[in-house]
Amino acid sequence: MEHTSMNLTLKVWRQRNSQDTGSFETYEVKEVSEEMSFLEMFDVLNERLIREGKDPIAFDHDCREGICGMCSMVIDGKPHGPWKANTVCQLHMRAFKDGDTIVVEPWRANAFPVIKDLMVDRSSFDRIIQAGGYISVNTGNAVDANAIPIEKDKADAAFAAAACIGCGACVAACKNSSAMLFLSAKVSHLALLPQGSPERKSRALNMVAQMDKEGFGSCTNTGACEAVCPKEISIENIARLNREYMMAGAASE
């Protein structure tokens, strides 16, 4: 089967570090196969830049299987690019056409400072998890999977929330750079399960407090976060988080 190749123009954000102002640089890439992933196309471009004695474009990646969420790029104004429920590593060049100009930027949020080029520091997410995204368990042998009965609808909802990969696309898409979809997914999947009960009240309060401390914005329910989430996390989780937070606040008074 013959594969189509294309010539493209890339406008890529280059920034040496978090103190640098940064700017777009233009690159021409030729004979790009439509079967390449977006990251493979960047690999080819970087190999050319290295041969030319230039600094390659820094971008984050790991699994390249749509699992880890590290491949954070805003492509033509949309986090992870034009395909729905997709990560950049799983975006293929057939999403574009010959002659296209593609604009590539990093996540834009004060809480995600740029490390270099398209790489941002998302350790703020880690600190939110450390503030309460855990459960109390006794050490020893693993508990039998069926030892604690859980209603199927709650188990399904918890599983759907736990699918969040913490990529930060929700923050990048939000006009306020809110982390509420991420936080609500992490709170929801534990709040829905009996194993999460011991820290249920402190979890919501502590994780929201850490989110605010990190400098994320407020949620105004525009739904942009849900629209770009590669795992299609529902904003129903935000409503659940709000309930958890209010109940925890009332209990602590």
pLDDT for position 246: 94
pLDDT tier at 253, thresholds 50, 70, 90: low
Residues present in the chain in total: 253
pLDDT band at 145 (very low <50, low <70, confident <90, very high): low
**Identical fold between 5-105 and 123-252:** no
Question: Per-residue pLDDT tens for 160-193?
Answer: 999 999 999 999 999 999 999 999 999 999 999 9
pLDDT for the residue 167: 97
Which CATH number is associated with domain 123-252? Answer: 1.10.1060.10
Are β-strands 5-14 and 101-105 bridged in parallel, bridged antiparallel, or unpaired?
parallel
Determine contact, residues 187/162, Cβ cutoff 8 Å.
Answer: no
Average pLDDT (197-226) is 95
**Mean pLDDT over all residues of the chain?**
94
* Per-residue model confidence (pLDDT) at position 39: 98
Report helix, strand or coil for 211: helix
Average pLDDT value for residue range 202-217: 97
Q: What percent of the chain has pLDDT over 90?
A: 86
Q: How far is CA 121 from CA 115, 117, 136, 151, 188, in A?
A: 6, 12, 29, 38, 25
Flag whether pLDDT at 3 surpasses 70.
Answer: no
- Residue 237: Cβ within 10 Å count: 26
Q: Enter the tokens of residue 161.
A: 């929330």
Between helices 123-130 and 200-214, what is the axis angle to 10°?
A: 150
Nearest residue to 118 via CA among 129, 97, 128, 104: 104
Q: Which helix (H) or strand (E) holds 8?
A: strand 5-14
Q: DSSP labels for 191-240? A: HTSGGGSTTHHHHHHHHHHHHHHHT-B------HHHHH-TT---THHHHH
SS3 for 251? helix
Domain ranges in the chain?
Answer: 5-105, 123-252
What's residue 198's pLDDT?
87
pLDDT score, position 201: 87
5-105 folds as: Ubiquitin-like (UB roll) (3.10.20)
139 has a pLDDT exceeding 90: no
Q: In whole angstroms, give the CA distance from residue 78 to residue 83.
A: 9
Give the burial class of 148: count Cβ atoms within 10 A of its Cβ; 0-12 exposed, 13-18 middle, 19 or more buried: exposed
Which pLDDT score, from 0 to 100, does residue 11 have? 98
Question: Could you tell me which residues come within 8 angstroms of residue 159 by beta carbon, excluding any fewer than 6 positions away?
Answer: 189
Model confidence at 2: pLDDT above 70: no
Each residue of 10-47: pLDDT tens digit?
Answer: 999 999 999 999 999 999 999 999 999 999 999 999 99
Q: Give the span between the Cα atoms of 49 and 14, in whole angstroms.
A: 13
The amino acid sitting at 126 is D
Instruction: In whole angstroms, give the CA distance from residue 51 to residue 73.
Output: 24
Q: What is the pTM of this model?
A: 0.92
Whether pLDDT at 142 is above 80:
no
pLDDT per residue over 87-103, tens digit each? 999 999 999 999 999 99
Q: How far is CA 1 from CA 30, 46, 95, 98, in A?
A: 20, 28, 18, 19
pLDDT tens column, 115-133: 999 999 999 999 999 999 9
